[in-house]
Amino acid sequence: MWRSVIRQYSTRAARNKAAIDRIIRVDHAGELGADRIYAGQMAILGKTKVGPVIQHLWDQEKEHKAKFEELIPRYRVRPTVLIPLWNVAGYVLGAGTALLGREAAMACTVAVESVITDHYNSQLRQLIELGEAEHQELIDTIKKFRDDEMDHHDTGLAHDAEMAPAYTSLSAVIKAGCKAAVWMSERI
């Protein structure tokens, strides 16, 4: 009887640990990617009138990245091996959209933050199922960052994201790329 209870508890604990590992791993990768996107945008648009807006968004992403860099060793999570790829891909995406103009840079922000907001909401539901009291710090962190990301989304819309050339197509491609990056970073 006791062996069965211990085995059941051990299996549940292992599943919870795996879920937390995936959440922290992918969120760290995502915040690193966001940091690099804004770095690329600042390299192109930093001295324009939208530069201060991008800098503000970037500063918040730096805070998010720093928090997940703190959580990785605390929770003993292995970061994704794809960090070098996300470092380059994020910068190229940011600089590339900025080269198309401020509207395209803001369209990039809207697309990315739309996917990330949905992703954070899914994680919050999962963490609550795992035990809200047990994971309150992580829940609070993700709630705050989700709200910041939604604000970034709205900022992008307020700065003419929808005026970007081929907005619908650009947005769809960026969203698909983000979803693929999330899927890979959770697993690799």
| pLDDT in 10s for each residue of the chain, 188 residues | 666 555 655 688 888 999 999 999 999 999 999 999 999 999 999 999 999 999 999 999 999 999 999 999 999 999 999 999 999 999 999 999 999 999 999 999 999 999 999 999 999 999 999 998 899 999 999 999 999 999 999 999 999 999 999 999 999 999 999 999 999 999 99
- Cα–Cα distance measured from residue 22 to residue 14, given in angstroms and rounded to the nearest whole number: 12
pLDDT (0 to 100) of residue 11: 81
Q: pTM above the 0.85 mark?
A: yes
If you count them, how many residues does the chain have? Answer: 188
- The structural domain count of the chain equals 1
The whole domain housing 68 covers 2-187
Provide DSSP, 99-135: HT-HHHHHHHHHHHHHHHHHHHHHHHHHHHHHHTTTT
**Predicted pLDDT of residue 161:** 98
Residue 129's pLDDT is 94
